[in-house]
Structure 1
Amino acid sequence: MDPFEDMLRRLREAFGSGRTQEAEFRATQLKGLGRFLEENKQLLQEALVQDLRKMVFESEVSEFSICQGEINLALKNLQAWMKDEEVTKNLATQLDSAFIRKEPFGLVLIITPWNYPVNLTLVPLVGALAAGNCVVLKPSEISGNTGKVLAEVLPRYLDQSCFAVVTGGPKEVQQLLEHKFDYIFFTGSSRVGKIIMAAATKHLTPVTLELGGKNPCYVHDDCDPQTVANRVAFFRYLNTGQTCVAPDYVLCSPEMQERLVPALQSAITRFYGDDPKSSPDLGRIINDKHFQRLQGLLGSGRVAIGGQSDSSDRYIAPTVLVDVQETEPVMQEEIFGPILPIVTVRSLDEAIDFINRREKPLALYAFSNSQQVVKEVLFRTSSGAFCGNDGFMYMTLSSLPFGGVGASGMGKYHGKFTFDTFSHHRACLLRYSGMEKVNSIRYPPYSPQKLRVLLMAMETHSSSCTLL
């Protein structure tokens, strides 16, 4: 017996009724989502502590404020986003109406990860609801406490004829994927992303895949090492390194490594004290499986800072590895933990070549006092996102798209980009019903004169005028 058949039928019937098309209904859903955040913040915070030992500061900055900002932005701009978009016309269609209509896809599936279980669940949901879709939400079973709040409490704030939460693990996801959805949005590992995409292919379902990868961080010799260390350490060890856009490894010269390592030690001590394990500002690894995987990576290169671990507490100290070789395990997979390898290169060209030999990353960082150096790294590489002289501060801008390229993912979201991702952009032309004689130039019998006139009428001219 199919456990999801009745639920999916109910959601499709709700979408077919047209209820989600109206702006008022969408706004009501978004307001309900906002109330859920406001009224259950403490409950969610407690769940984040249980799952990741995530402190209030990090939760406010990286989970709640971002979600609330996305809700506010969508509510403020919903009418404008939904409005038909007028397009340029040619001579043949001057009397007609040509526009792009933003339609909801229908029934969409959102599968979310465990590392930022509020942010990475609710931000896609904002766009899906704003675009007028019915939604099946599948939170990660790994962050089980947060997932329980989402499953048990969130549906009370939304129209349950148009929204459902599915709990469970890989088995339930596989069962869901046997059904046809109109869009699938997935955030997680590349390994699972391939499974999602293969399942979607059977139904020709479009997908957004927000994956990951190894994000390079190039540090030029002209940098102030303490400034770089402060910024890299903050973004590497935030959420205990369990961030898909965190700097995954540093590329620098041997001379810069000698200056950078003591600066990193200074930053880590100032951030987390002499005993980081007792710091209230450092979380823990999500589960034993990930802890064991990360502990195995500590054998790469040489430990210059940290390296301590405690399996009973799922604690791994903020760690820096040096003398790391490209072939070692820590350089073969996304780390997703508080470990920072440093790989030495002889020049900027060698660093860029190192980056370009690997899969395109989700994010790329370059530090230099020279804008020319930063822009050269930007120009000669490709990544989902790029930031010069800092970490993932671009994530605070809803005006910038977030998404990968190549192996790090496909599709984009945040702000209006999320609304557009969950909307079908429908090409519409409403033609004038009269003046049939004008159309005679396109009908047989053909002639060279008809062809010349028709080609002129079909040509689209720029709205701007250039005087030669």
Structure 2
Amino acid sequence: MIPELLNDQKSYFKTGQTLSITHRKTLLKALLNQLVAREQDITDALYNDFKKPEFESVLTETAIVIQDLKHTIKKLNKWAKPKRVCPALLNFPSSDYLYAEPYGSVLVIAPWNYPYQLAIAPLVGAIAAGNTVVLKPSELTPHTSALISDIIKTVFKPEHVTVVEGGVDTSTKLLEQHWDYIFFTGSVNVGKIVAKAAAVNLTPTTLELGGKNPCIIDDTANIKLAAKRIIWGKFVNAGQTCIAPDYILIHHSKKDAFYKAMKHEVELAYSTTPQQSKDFARIINLKNFERLSKMLTNQNCIIGGQTDADTLYIAPTVIDNPTLDSEVMKDEIFGPILPVISYQNDSKLETIILSYNKPLSLYVFGSNSAKAKQLIQKFSFGGGCINDTIVHFANHRLPFGGVGNSGLGAYHGHYTFDTFSHKKGVVKKANWLDIPVRYAPYNGKLDLVRKVLNWL
């Protein structure tokens, strides 16, 4: 089935029907209408999959996609128009252009943690760029995946966009095919598998992965405000967010005040009984629940620590000074557990942060702007914030993506269109003048050419 589907899409692409800007915008508008009309269905599906609060579903999933679609429709003509660039003097007289052309058949593999937004957002960019798409949503969120499939069927021909549902076997079969581009969002380990499969056919890829994201709180930070913003950024979606703060590095003089502020903010957000709160999501499945529960073993939980396997609940948890070789500090946590490590000098910051691969995000809290900028410039990471967490994701003018182990490539807004477009450079030479110096015979011309090159 999958090879036949890919052949159908390649044949459809060759007809040129995906290339019309007007047709692309018509389909994107139809998709927008469907997504707006079915927003309640989408938030219901997300709740059924892992008890995601409706507010979080709108804020972090449906609203982002709707804004992205509207922005793409508005800007598509400008993005797709050939861009004139300054020509090289050596090519005088000429006009030079950049043409954006679609790659062709694109595979998008979406994750489970934001199963709607991280499926539809890259799809929008791929369609806007003129590609055909096979979208593989996560099997761990069956309600959301089925709804996405139903919506796509109402808007697109299957030879243009198709949703393929299934588990690991399905993903494996998809990766065995020869795609023109692959866009993957997920774990580092699976990202390496995707990269290896893509390398067989030299297929270009975007890999949106993760990492152990540090959050630095220095001795000048506004602790109350930092606690509030960190609580939200860490525990939204029950901590199952690739750009969530993974661990805190706090100046030793601020730790006690921070713990007090954190306890207050957790109770404000989720009450003294977070398990009863309607504003706190659940862990996606038992496998991840058990993985996270092991991280709590023999730890000093200043806040939380309670678990319930029957409902896949893990309380918003703050751990005091875990050792670097403990389970909670080995890899990305991806859950509602926040380790806090105190430091006395900046050398410890550098030692800890550099002991991990380059993270997807980094956060700094402090009133000393020069110090914050120094830290931002000192470490390599995908993107981040000063005095806040995760909000850099919301700006479509900023590219979103990792570096090194945390990812390859970036998207959002115009960057998504660029991701799914090959930039084709074209030189248009004029005929009214033809400078003969470049033509053979070359005798006596080298000195002149060297003088010209040195002058340029």
Name 1:382's counterpart in structure 2. Answer: 380
Q: Which runs of 4+ in 1 moved over 3 A?
A: 433-436, 452-461
Change in CA separation of 1:220 and 1:51 when aligned onto 2, cut-off 3 Å: same
Q: In the aligned structure 2, how far is the partner of 1:151 from the partner of 1:225?
A: 45
Q: 1:451 aligns with which of 413, 428, 446?
A: 446
**Cross-structure match for 1:255:** 253
The range that moved more, 34-43 or 210-219, is: 34-43
* Contact 2:82 2:100 (8 Å CA) reproduced: yes
One-letter code of the match for 2:336?
A: P
Percent identity reads: 39
Which one-letter code corresponds to 1:242 in the other structure? Q
Tell me how far 1:149 sits from its aligned partner: 0.6
Decide whether aligned partners of structure 1 residues 441 and 157 sit closer, same or farther in structure 2, where only a CA change above 3 A counts: same
2:282 aligned counterpart, secondary structure: coil
> Shift of residue 452 of structure 1?
4.3
Whether 2:260 is the aligned partner of 1:265: answer: no
- Which residue identity is paired with 1:287? N
Cα 1:237/1:346, change in 2 over 3 Å: same
Q: CA deviation at 1:44?
A: 1.0
Q: What is the RMSD of the two structures over their aligned residues, measured on CA atoms? A: 1.5
| Paired residues of 1:265 and 1:305 also in contact (CA < 8 A) | yes
> Could you tell me which residue of structure 1 aligns to residue 307 of structure 2?
309
SS of 1:378's partner is helix
User: Is residue 318 of structure 2 the alignment partner of residue 320 of structure 1?
Assistant: yes
Q: How does 1:269-308 map to 2 (within 5 A)?
A: 269-299=267-297, 301-308=299-306
Which residue pairs with 1:465 in the alignment?
none
Instruction: Give the counterpart of 1:163 among 161, 164, 167.
Output: 161
Q: Which moved more, 1:109-118 or 1:220-229?
A: 220-229
Instruction: Report deviation, 1:95.
Output: 2.5
Matching of residue 22 in structure 1 with residue 20 in structure 2:
yes
Which residue number in structure 2 is paired with residue 202 of structure 1? 200
Q: Does 1:148 align with 2:143?
A: no
> Per-residue CA shift, 1:122-174, capped at 9, x if unaligned?
11111101100000000000111100111223221123331111110110111
Shift, 1:4, TM fit: 0.9
Determine the C-alpha separation between the residues in 1 that align with 2:163 and 2:285.
23
| Farther off after superposition, 281-290 or 223-232 | 223-232
Q: Which residue does 2:370 correspond to in 1?
A: 372
1:88 touches 1:460 (CA, 8 Å); kept in 2?
Answer: no
Counterpart residue number, 1:408: 406
State the one-letter code of the partner of 2:70: N
Q: CA deviation at 1:255?
A: 2.6
Unpaired segments ≥5 residues, structure 1? 462-468
Cα contact 2:188–2:210 (8 A) shared by 1: yes
Q: Give the match for residue 32 of structure 2.
A: 34
1:39-89 CA-partner distances (Å, limit 9, x unpaired): 211111111001121111111110011101110111111011001111111
How does the TM-score come out when normalised to structure 1? 0.95
Secondary structure at 1:419 match in 2: helix
Distance 1:376 1:429, change over 3 A: same
Indicate how the Cα distance of structure 1 residues 115 and 459 shifts in structure 2: closer, same or farther if over 3 A, else same: farther
Counterpart Cα distance in 1 of 2:302 and 2:159: 56
Task: State how far apart, in whole Å, the 2-side matches of 1:292 and 1:19 are.
Answer: 48
Provide structure 2 residue ranges, at least 5 long, that are not aligned to the other structure.
Answer: none
Q: How many residue pairs align between the two structures?
A: 456
What whole-Å deviation, never above 9, does each CA across 1:360-383 have from its counterpart, x for those lacking one? 000000000110111111111110
Letter of the 2:287 partner, please give it. K
